[in-house]
Structure 1
Amino acid sequence: MTTTTAGIRPEPAPQRLRALLELVSSMRFAISLLTVICIASVIGTVLKQGEPLTNYINQFGPFWAGLFMAIKLNAVYSAWWFLLILAFLVVSTSLCIARNTPKILADLKSYKENIRENSLLAFHHRAEAQLAGTPEDQARRMGQALVKAGWKVRLQQRAGGWMVAAKAGGVNKMGYLAAHSSIVLICLGGLLDGDLMVRAQMWWGGKVPYNGGGMISQVPAQHRLSSANPTFRGNVLVAEGTASSTALLNQSDGVLLQDLPFSIELKKFIVEYYSTGMPKLFASDIVIHDAETGEKIPARVEVNHPVRHRGIEIYQSSFDDGGSSVTLKAVPMDGAGKTFEVKGTIGGTTELAKGEAAAEKMTLEYTGLRVINVENLADASGGGATDVRKVDLRASLDARLGAANKTIKDKNLRNVGPSITYKLRDAAGQAREFHNYMLPVDLGEGSPVFLLGARETPAEGFRYLRVPADENGALEGFLRLRAAMSDASLREQAVKAYAREATDPSRPELAQQLTLSASRALALFAGAEAVPGSKAQGGLLALSEFIEANVPEAERPRAGEVLVRILNGTLFELAQLSRERAGLQPLPRDERTQGFMTQAVLALSDAFAYPAPMAFELKDFTQVQASVFQVTRSPGHYIVYLGCALLILGVFAMLYVRERRLWVWLGAAGDGAHARMALSSNRKLMDVDREFQKLRDRLLGNQT
């Protein structure tokens, strides 16, 4: 039995390899890679990079947040697929250069003097003329003229005549090599200065991110990178009067600690402001302590003015709190608690026992202290304090696009003083965040108010409770009124005082009727009496629901006005009683008192929606500032600079330098020489026509 292989033609492996190399080194493959890189770069620019998972969940939801984390869209520029695409682009461009460089170099050396004389008739730019003198004399004359004009010339003697071959603009082809080489250099520089080196140490060096706590000096070696690490980018937080020699490199699942060959000591953090109160300058006076030589080098780091030492650049990235000490006063928002003071440091916590801030044990976390708060109060009545440090892109675009009318409002920037940010965390671990201003702010509503902000999650904006300041610029007047509203006996006295003042003593039946109405209104407002089926705890909402449940719809506006007037009167009498009990003078019946009471009514109503029984007022602080420095060792940026320079030179060479070749055949014709000239260029431009005319006139004269 025999076996035949007829009809089977196995494809040789070298042919497949050549096809693969042809694909990888092709222009369409490189353009496809560049397109993917551009799309990824856009995503990396629009989507905030390196944010915690909870931030993505709050903004996009759990599904999209999980997808972003799975495909590393939260860290595009260090994702494995992005680095792989960059590597393929480097390989593709390098292969393209390798394929075309021999051809380009050979073409640069070639003058193509062996072209046939009849082929010159096929060129678009051609001319013929009869010249006096021998072909050799004319060839040498033309060669010298072309050399003086900047051409490279080669003369060739043939049977029957001389060929003059010249070329100019060879830099055009060198521009091709420079532009393609620049892409390779820029990608290599980006890979070198990116996260590749750090990831390589994690893959093969046993380094793992650290996600625990404790002292930096106690972190094990597997979480640390050597000071000889060739490239890194991290942050160093240094408080005033302290020093640090360790940078933190953020990773998706923790941090890596980068040891530095020196320590940075922060002597003083400096911030200067414009007349509006906006920051003008951030700077840090530092001392660099060299670990090897012990040298102490004083320096100043400013924004966009880094300091360089041992190949590491130190940038002023931002600033933070360095552990400021604060004193807070707890003020009851339910009218039942007692005031007390707590002391702590920013970044620390205080345990609140039962009965202090709540019916259960809670933890007070001090999260932030801002000594300067520049707010836009141009339209304060429309929405409270506006943090001008936040950039609202949509609002900015809406203000500048659309109709031709001006929609940008004037700004009234004002420093409204210090503020404290803290969290109250319950026993289950759930926390609410609060932001309270230390000083009352005049929002143009009749009385300065204390702004007490609260929010449930970081994705939300703060909602501010506006508590009016008393005649001493303090919260005590409002707190006395809130406590008096919770006292049934004082409410009863206030109702009687209001009824006596508002009715004629000769008509006791009207006083009795007004007393019943005022007592009912004040009890509903204070939350002492509930509307059946209503969830309102008190305030104006309880009055509104009472009216809707008991008054016909046609009579509700009138009934509402009457009840609000009665409520305002009884609350004023309640405020006077609270001051009398505290041994203070009665409130005068003037415009300022009216503004205070108007704001107090609204604040008392809104206080029922305040998410905590206590608010913490900033009473005193000792600020300790800290600088956040970005430290980078980036040797690849020199490669990137070289690549950018080559890219500029290459693009200019390809766009603005024309490659031209000129041939002149000089054959014997009687006593003279017959000249046949042709010119070629890689681009058809009007300049080529003008140049050919000049060359024809110079070399051949006016004869054609």
Structure 2
Amino acid sequence: MRFAIALLCVICIAAIVGTVVEQRQPQIAYVNQFGPFWAEVFGKLGLHAVYGTWWFLVIMAFLVLSTSLCIARNTPKILHDLRTFKETLQLHSLKVIPHRAEGRSDETPAAATSRVEAALAAAGWRMKAQQREGGTLVAAKKGARNRIGYLLAHSAIVLICLGGLVDGDLVIRLQMWAQGLRPYVPGPQADLSSPEHRLGVGNPAFRGNLQVAEGQRNGYAVLNLTDGLLLQPLPFEIELKSFRVEFHDAGPPKRFVSEVVVHDGEQRIPATIIVNKPLIHRGIAIYQSDFSDGGSQVRLRSWLLATGTPGPEIAGTVGDSQPLPAPLSGEQPLALELDDLREINVEDLGAAEDPQQAASHPAAAASASGLARLLGAADKTDKPRNMHNVGPVLVYKLRDQANQAREFRNYMLPIELDGQRVFLLGQRNSPSEDFSYLRIPADENGSMEGWMRLRAALVDPQARALAAQRYVQRALPGTRADLAPRMVQTAERVLGLFAGAVLPRGAREGNRAPGGLAAISQDIEGGVPEGQRESTANALMPMLRGALFELVDVSREHAGLPAQKQDDAGLAFNTQALLSLSDSFFYGSPAVLAMSDFRKVQASVFQVARAPGQSVVYLGALLLAAGVFCMLFVRERRLWIWVAPHPDAGARITMALTSNRQTLEVDREFEGLVRGLVPVVQTLHTPGSTTHPQAAEAA
């Protein structure tokens, strides 16, 4: 019994871990949440898939065996106790029972016995009388269901564990062993549809995911095991007619609805699947689990970031991979992998009021604390939320020939942050990192064209020279015309440093900053004494802003547009353009891709489960509740009453009461029985007392 209790404690601890730690997630998710060290420890212990680990299944099996043996050993004794009244008890044994009383009655022994039996029957006691030499022993009992509670509770543990074993990975592991199957692990030569990765249609227990795109049908579920994947064919196919998301007024999704048709042979069964309202067909439950992209068609505009010039238009399908056109890929070929398209994205814009702050990586300067909260810090609730749908988001990767990929997350529409409408272009080198965002300001037409024109003008020496001349003409008073040539030269050099066209002082080609504010900072550090650096920077920054603002007008003239309006909107555009141009030198792609159009195709992700152990577990839970109730709230009591002739006439009555729990309620019940069954009490024994007032009066 102690062994079973120890096993049960271990299972409870493992169940707590399985509840707290989200199960069967990608390894990188545990690295992000717990760090590399603990993620590796959890992986070796199997804590990311507790219910499918070998040690958990072994413990469950040992608990079933141990508890079953305990039930088998104690059931005969319990059943024997339920059937017997222990009427063969020796009379001298009554004297050692704590609850006992002796008294007399003026009735004859036969009349006293009849009265006792009638009173006990009226009080709900079951009894049996035994005639002995010298008197009659009445043995009664009440609350025998307490012993049944023991059997119910222990049987419940066995049933719950058996249900868990059946619905867990044990059945699948046994089939893999018997049929020579092995899990699928992604690789160059691996094929999930191979027979060695496929279970049979008659698999009695499984739980997997089934993804179906709109207008398509699928009859294969994918089972995610700790060491790979298995394919589970279903005895029917599911066709997704439509998928929709309904939202609350505040923005968050309210419910997900899939309209499906089940194709089962010649049958066509239409149904609606909603979260928490599964469809059950042929013993298989189909739950609405998630949704994803089902192969949406997208069209992308492109720009060469180095020159700001437009590139070719790209058409693709989400989920596919294609070579990035040569003009956009830079020095080495890149593959464009379109991963996901989210049409509706509800974000908290109330958290985007903090000023922009620079991060450790220069390109992360756009990732201000407000934007960090905007993009997923659900635990920060210090400010009122301002939930808005910010529009479609495209997620894609650029993968090089060494199979190294950088992930990008680009918003299709501009978002107003800190009073400025900007396009957010996110990037990260690995899934373990957060996205850092490049904020490109939207022009008066709500597009990136104005910024791209400025980027093209920045790399044009003639445009930089013209912008520097115009800046000097505006900034220098007419009385100081002699300073103009030197000032124009300085302004051109500052713009050249910012554009990455001029090598910073003290730098070499191998360690130079590519451009932006980092290049100006490197130039100051390499060519200005330390004591004069701050004043030099304070003098150069206004010059850079002024020259860059003139460059905006130069770029607009080349496009045949009027000059930038000198209002708040124009000033905000110019300021954000300076910051984003500086960060663009650290953008992880030679090209900027922006979604111009799309045709959304949704896909539903269903969890399909055949769980015969579920009913067994439910039955075990009911038995456990009933067993615990019987053991805690039902008290087993046994009562013996010996009725014999009294030497002075009448009847002498001796009674004793036992209970599986000694409580004050038992004391009160015994005293009530004495008052009702023994007219004159001579001695009364209860735990903590040896006499009773009624016995003292009789004496």
TM-score normalised by the chain length of structure 1: 0.90
Aligned pairs for 1:188-207 (under 5 A) are 188-207=162-181
Distance 2:325 2:296 in 1: 24
3-state SS of 1:506 partner: helix
Distance 1:138 1:503 in 2: 128
Residue pair 2:352, 2:373 contacting (<8 A) in 1 also: no
Aligned pairs for 1:158-557 (under 5 A) are 158-211=132-185, 219-291=193-265, 294-335=266-307, 337-382=309-354, 383-385=369-371, 390=376, 396=379, 408-445=382-419, 447-531=420-504, 532-533=506-507, 535-557=512-534
Q: Which moved more, 1:177-186 or 1:46-55?
A: 46-55
Counterpart pick for 2:651 among 666, 673, 686: 673
What is the letter of the counterpart of residue 122 of structure 1? V
Residue pair 2:258, 2:273 contacting (<8 A) in 1 also: yes
Find the counterpart in structure 2 of residue 12 from structure 1: none
Counterpart pick for 1:98 among 27, 48, 72: 72
3-state SS of 1:355 partner: helix
Counterpart pick for 1:622 among 574, 591, 599: 599
3-state SS of 2:588 partner: coil
Q: Which moved more, 1:62-71 or 1:315-324?
A: 62-71
Query: How many angstroms does 1:334 deviate by?
Result: 2.0
The CA RMSD over aligned residues, in Å, is 2.3
Find the counterpart in structure 1 of residue 2 from structure 2: 28
Q: Which moved more, 1:115-124 or 1:176-185?
A: 115-124
Query: How many angstroms does 1:694 deviate by?
Result: 1.4
Find the counterpart in structure 2 of residue 576 from structure 1: 553
Are 2:581 and 1:604 aligned?
A: yes
Query: How many angstroms does 1:85 deviate by?
Result: 0.8
Alignment gaps of 5+ in structure 1 = 1-26, 400-406
Distance 1:172 1:424 in 2: 68
Distance 1:465 1:564 in 2: 21
Residue pair 2:245, 2:254 contacting (<8 A) in 1 also: yes
Counterpart pick for 2:619 among 638, 642, 649: 642
What is the letter of the counterpart of residue 150 of structure 1? G
Distance 1:618 1:701 in 2: 98
Distance 1:440 1:237 in 2: 32
Q: Deviations over 1:206-229 (max 9, x none)?
A: 223334699x99934333222221
3-state SS of 2:86 partner: coil
Do the aligned partners of residues 146 and 391 (structure 1) sit closer, same or farther apart at CA in structure 2, a change above 3 Å counting?
farther
Counterpart pick for 1:697 among 651, 670, 675: 675
What is the letter of the counterpart of residue 471 of structure 1? E
Residue pair 2:395, 2:410 contacting (<8 A) in 1 also: yes
Are 2:41 and 1:38 aligned?
A: no
Q: Deviations over 1:490-514 (max 9, x none)?
A: 1011101111111123322222232
Find the counterpart in structure 2 of residue 110 from structure 1: 84
Are 2:664 and 1:686 aligned?
A: yes
Counterpart pick for 2:119 among 123, 145, 151: 145
Query: How many angstroms does 1:338 deviate by?
Result: 3.6
3-state SS of 1:139 partner: helix
Q: Deviations over 1:538-573 (max 9, x none)?
A: 111222233333444444333322211111110111
Distance 2:151 2:345 in 1: 55
Q: Deviations over 1:145-169 (max 9, x none)?
A: 1112111111111111111111101
3-state SS of 1:320 partner: strand
Query: How many angstroms does 1:52 deviate by?
Result: 4.0
Query: How many angstroms does 1:526 deviate by?
Result: 1.2
Do the aligned partners of residues 464 and 79 (structure 1) sit closer, same or farther apart at CA in structure 2, a change above 3 Å counting?
same
Find the counterpart in structure 2 of residue 654 from structure 1: 631
Do the aligned partners of residues 275 and 385 (structure 1) sit closer, same or farther apart at CA in structure 2, a change above 3 Å counting?
farther
Q: Deviations over 1:301-335 (max 9, x none)?
A: 00000011111111001111110000011122222
Distance 1:390 1:319 in 2: 19
What is the letter of the counterpart of residue 682 of structure 1? N
Distance 1:89 1:497 in 2: 86
Q: Which moved more, 1:65-74 or 1:672-681?
A: 65-74
3-state SS of 1:270 partner: strand
Q: Deviations over 1:440-479 (max 9, x none)?
A: 100124x210000000001111110111000100001001
Do the aligned partners of residues 595 and 57 (structure 1) sit closer, same or farther apart at CA in structure 2, a change above 3 Å counting?
closer
Are 2:27 and 1:50 aligned?
A: no
Distance 2:233 2:400 in 1: 38
Query: How many angstroms does 1:360 deviate by?
Result: 1.3
Distance 1:563 1:352 in 2: 39
Query: How many angstroms does 1:601 deviate by?
Result: 0.5
Residue pair 1:375, 1:386 contacting (<8 A) in 2 also: no
Find the counterpart in structure 1 of residue 684 from structure 2: none
Distance 2:187 2:212 in 1: 18
Find the counterpart in structure 2 of residue 404 from structure 1: none
Q: Deviations over 1:236-281 (max 9, x none)?
A: 1111111111111123443222121211111111210111221001
Find the counterpart in structure 1 of residue 100 from structure 2: 126
Distance 2:373 2:223 in 1: 30
Residue pair 1:377, 1:386 contacting (<8 A) in 2 also: no
What is the letter of the counterpart of residue 125 of structure 2? W
3-state SS of 2:661 partner: coil
Q: How many percent identity over aligned positions?
A: 51
Distance 1:391 1:488 in 2: 44
Residue pair 1:249, 1:257 contacting (<8 A) in 2 also: yes
Distance 1:275 1:54 in 2: 34
Do the aligned partners of residues 389 and 270 (structure 1) sit closer, same or farther apart at CA in structure 2, a change above 3 Å counting?
farther
Distance 2:137 2:31 in 1: 76
